[in-house]
Amino acid sequence: MILGIPAMRLIETDYSPNHHAMQVLAIEVTTHSTGPWVASVLRDVAERTGRPVQIVADHGSDLHKGITLFQQKQAPACVKTDDISHHIANLFKAELSADARWNGLLEHCRTTLASFQQTDLAFLLPPRQRTKARFMHVDTHVEWARNILAYDDRGDFSAIRRPCVLSVAAWDHLCARLGAARVQALRALRGRQHPDKAAFCDALHAASDLTPEDLDDAFWDLADTGRERFLEGFGWVRAYREELVVYAQMMEQAKAIQTFLKSKGLHAGVIEPLRATLPPRTTLTPRAADFTDRILDGVAAEGAKTPPGETWLASSDIIESVFGKYKTFTARGPLKEIGRLVLTIPAFLTELTPSLIREAMVSVRTL
């Protein structure tokens, strides 16, 4: 599918055109896409609409070769821009594919999801991992893991609905830490269940002079069975705390860069204003800073291709969006394969007015 928009209209859309701003220039269905085939489709479109000034696409081998052939033979002045979303996804793939800690995090997520489905921990489970475009969505598991650590740090496990109990082990821990004489007043509470941490604390404070500072994490590991159950499922996440800081910084930088380019566009001098919106390099971990530099190097290379004074698109997200809408539409019916329903795609990009609908109903009988 090829979508088009006049270059002069880009500023009207804030360099993030919606469906109605685009035109369908071609929809072609093939069983095998090759570079020469892509080039021939682009040539046919150019003969109808004029030569393009820019083509934005992902870095698929067939598209890359086809666009290059088209540039060489038909449109040497046309600029090919690598979609920023796919460019960053490729950088993440190169950065993380061989990272043992990253792969360990994902493996733990897989086994945790399989082990605790349909249990009392189901509401805390990680998202399912994608089989396609995995590196376009790397942030989902990092965000989940950071939320799990935040939940752990709050120390309130009442949602798991397990009681708090002054167990023998918890009693022994308090005796060793505070002295048996001070803890003696709590003897009557041993083995008694309390519905949540708040109720348990009330009982402890009513029976003794213990303060919240006296009840350390080691005590709660022994007394809070909700925490115990939580750690059974998610205790492994604690070991990734340092790596998650690095991963999160990398992904936050990537997201900030994409947001800027998708709203401000791509031009030859884009790096300076883009850098001004990012956190100072000194606030980042070395790995996140280096990763940011690699993204910016790619952005600078793409920006250098644009003519002086021109601002063009940095992303082909609109195509992904249209395909997503098409998939949602076809999911309602039995026809999942690519067929005649692709002819509905131009309708997604058209502002439907009463007169247009009437014209369609008069002139078109059926798909």
Beta strand extents in the chain (DSSP E only): 2-4, 23-26, 54-57, 79-82, 164-165, 193-194
Average pLDDT score over residue span 264-274: 96
Lowest mean pLDDT: which of 85-94, 133-142, 288-297?
A: 133-142
Average pLDDT score over residue span 124-142: 91
Residue 336 has pLDDT above 90, yes or no: no
Query: Distances in Å between the alpha carbon of 343 and those of 177, 258, 334, 351?
Result: 74, 31, 16, 16
Residues 6+ apart with CB under 8 A from 67: 38, 39, 42, 55, 57, 80
More confident residue, 12 or 240: 240
Segment 288-329, tens digit of pLDDT? 999 999 999 999 999 999 999 999 999 999 888 888 888 787
Average pLDDT score over residue span 54-60: 91
Residue 343 has pLDDT above 80, yes or no: no
Lowest mean pLDDT: which of 4-8, 87-91, 302-306?
A: 4-8
CA 232 distance to own-chain centroid: 27
CA distance 330 to 337: 9
Indicate the helix (H) or strand (E) that contains 223.
helix 217-223
In sequence order, the β-bridge partners of residue 26 are 2
Q: What is the mean pLDDT of the chain?
A: 91
Burial of 353 (0-12, 13-18, 19+ CB in 10 A): exposed
Query: Distances in Å between the alpha carbon of 324 and those of 59, 84, 101, 258, 330?
Result: 19, 18, 32, 20, 10
- Please report the pLDDT score of residue 366 as a whole number: 63
Residue 367 has pLDDT above 80, yes or no: no
Q: Residue 59 — very low, low, confident or very high, per pLDDT cuts 50/70/90?
A: confident
Lowest mean pLDDT: which of 44-48, 101-105, 212-216, 321-325?
A: 321-325
More confident residue, 99 or 197: 99
- Please report the pLDDT score of residue 349 as a whole number: 81
Number of other CB atoms surrounding residue 204 within 10 Å: 22
Name the residue ranges covered by the structural domains of the chain.
2-83+316-363, 89-155+236-300, 163-223
Query: Distances in Å between the alpha carbon of 98 and those of 60, 101, 272?
Result: 22, 9, 32
Task: Kindly state the DSSP code that residue 123 receives in the 8-state scheme.
Answer: G
- Please report the pLDDT score of residue 320 as a whole number: 86
Residue 240 has pLDDT above 80, yes or no: yes
Compute the residue count for the chain. 367
Number of other CB atoms surrounding residue 337 within 10 Å: 6
* pTM assigned to the model: 0.84
Average pLDDT score over residue span 60-68: 93
Provide the residue type at 166 as one letter: L
Cα dihedral across residues 320, 144, 138, 114: positive or negative: negative
CA distance 328 to 345: 12
Return the percentage of the chain with pLDDT > 90, whole number.
70
Number of H helices, E strands in the chain: 16, 6
